[in-house]
Amino acid sequence: MADINAKIREFVWKNLNEKKVDGVKDTFWESLLNTGTELWLDTGDMDEAEANWSVEMSALTTNNTLLNNEIQKGTYDNFIAEAKNIVKDFPVEEHVKEIAFILNARHGLRLANRFGGYVSVELHTDIAYDIKAIEYYGKRYHEICPDQFIVKVPYTAEGLLGARRLKNLGVRINFTLEFSARENVIVTRVARPDYLNVFLGRIGAYMINNNLGDGSGAGEKAVIASQNWVTRLSAQNPWQTKLIAASLRNHNQLELLAGTDVFTMPPKVAASGRKSLSGKFFSRIHENYDVSQFESAKGSGIEKFWEVDDKVLNLAERLASKVPDTGSELIHIAQEEGCMDMFPSLTKEEKSFIASDGKIPVYSRWEKKIRKGEIAPDTLLTLAGLASFTADQEMLDQRIRNIIG
């Protein structure tokens, strides 16, 4: 297997001749950087990234959706056909997953070489609940580009444990698909990654779509709460864990959340902010943003996005003091500590609801379980996010199947 992996590393590096992009210094982005915020672009599109890149930016991040967008353009079709021969020594059922890994690594290398910064690369969604596979593929990403690759691991019980193993091996980790301060308390203490996230735009969208409020302030409040918890708890780690305000939706959030450890900015948001804002940034990490909630939000669990109770803190410390060996063991401990809504048990029908509803779950489907403490809004958004990535991964996989036959 070592020989095969070496052959794959050689293949993804072969004929890599990206033209280096030298960012230009920009006082607008320098002002934001001076608040303590690292600036990352959230795109896999080379042209979009180049149009917005400046010397103050330090990384790019991709995901299953963004990579699929690039693969569907057809520019990698010949590369996929060549990769078929590279993976022939793997079992047939592994060919598509291996080629998807190769594509992610190749595109990540192109971004890393062109822009010179870190690049976050995503695991295949099929392994989100497989600790050994998370460790295996995470190590392989690291071996391909140890100086620039950051491996994204999704928020599942197995993801927490797989990320911890990878981090202990020296692999940079970007823990992804979190939507609340309480999820990030668990991640900070258990996985101890380099980076973790709040996908703030979907929090407001969840409130708006489900008539629970106008969405204003909700994502921002979740980010600020997470930032303060992560900063405090990260002091107990051997390294600093940094919070990402992920996939900003509106350029005003550049001002509202200045001082957060990291921004991942879609190019359109970055361009809009550069055009519309004054560039006079100062840290807002101690702001207390108000959230407008409708009467219908009573009992909906909205506060779970930013509140962290003693049950969650007890769970985090128990897991940190003795890290479980399996995801099922972790889930059992969460249930014992009264946090079953963070790792719920779902029926086949409920899983289909998650997949069919898209990125924003339908509250009315889950209201009874939320009120009974069996699931929560942040958990729903995490599950929906993973389901959405899974759908895009399947589109990418299908293109591979069509090419390799």
Decide if pLDDT at 42 tops 90: yes
Torsion-angle region of 375 (φ positive above 0: left; ψ -120 to 50: alpha; else: beta): beta
Decide if pLDDT at 102 tops 70: yes
pTM: 0.97
pLDDT of residue 247: 82
pLDDT digits (tens, 9 = 90+) for 347-373: 999 999 999 999 999 999 999 999 999
> Could you tell me the CATH number of the domain that includes residue 167?
3.20.20.70
Cα separation, 44 vs 266, in Å, equals 10
Averaged pLDDT, 41-49: 96
Decide if pLDDT at 193 tops 90: yes
Residue 199 host element (H or E): strand 195-199
pLDDT digits (tens, 9 = 90+) for 110-137: 999 999 999 999 999 999 999 999 999 9
The separation between CA 112 and the C-alpha centre of its own chain, rounded to angstroms, equals 18
pLDDT of residue 1: 65
pLDDT of residue 55: 98
Cα separation, 81 vs 368, in Å, equals 50
Please, which pLDDT band fits residue 269 given cuts at 50, 70 and 90? very high
Decide if pLDDT at 405 tops 90: no
CA-based Rg of the chain, rounded to a whole angstrom? Answer: 21
Decide if pLDDT at 2 tops 80: no
pLDDT of residue 362: 98
pLDDT of residue 112: 98
The pair of three-digit structure tokens given for residue 19, joined into one six-digit string: 């033209």
CA nearest neighbour of 174 among 61, 326, 19? 61
Give the other-Cβ count within 10 Å of 137's Cβ: 24
pLDDT of residue 56: 98
Give the other-Cβ count within 10 Å of 103's Cβ: 22
Cβ–Cβ < 8 Å for 64, 393 = yes
Averaged pLDDT, 282-307: 96
Decide if pLDDT at 85 tops 80: yes
Work out the burial of residue 67: count CB atoms within 10 Å of its CB; fewer than 13 is exposed, 13-18 middle, 19 or more buried: buried
Question: Domain range for residue 330?
Answer: 2-13+22-404
Give the percent of the chain with pLDDT over 90.
97
Number of domains observed in the structure of the chain:
1
Mean confidence (pLDDT) of the chain: 97
pLDDT of residue 262: 98
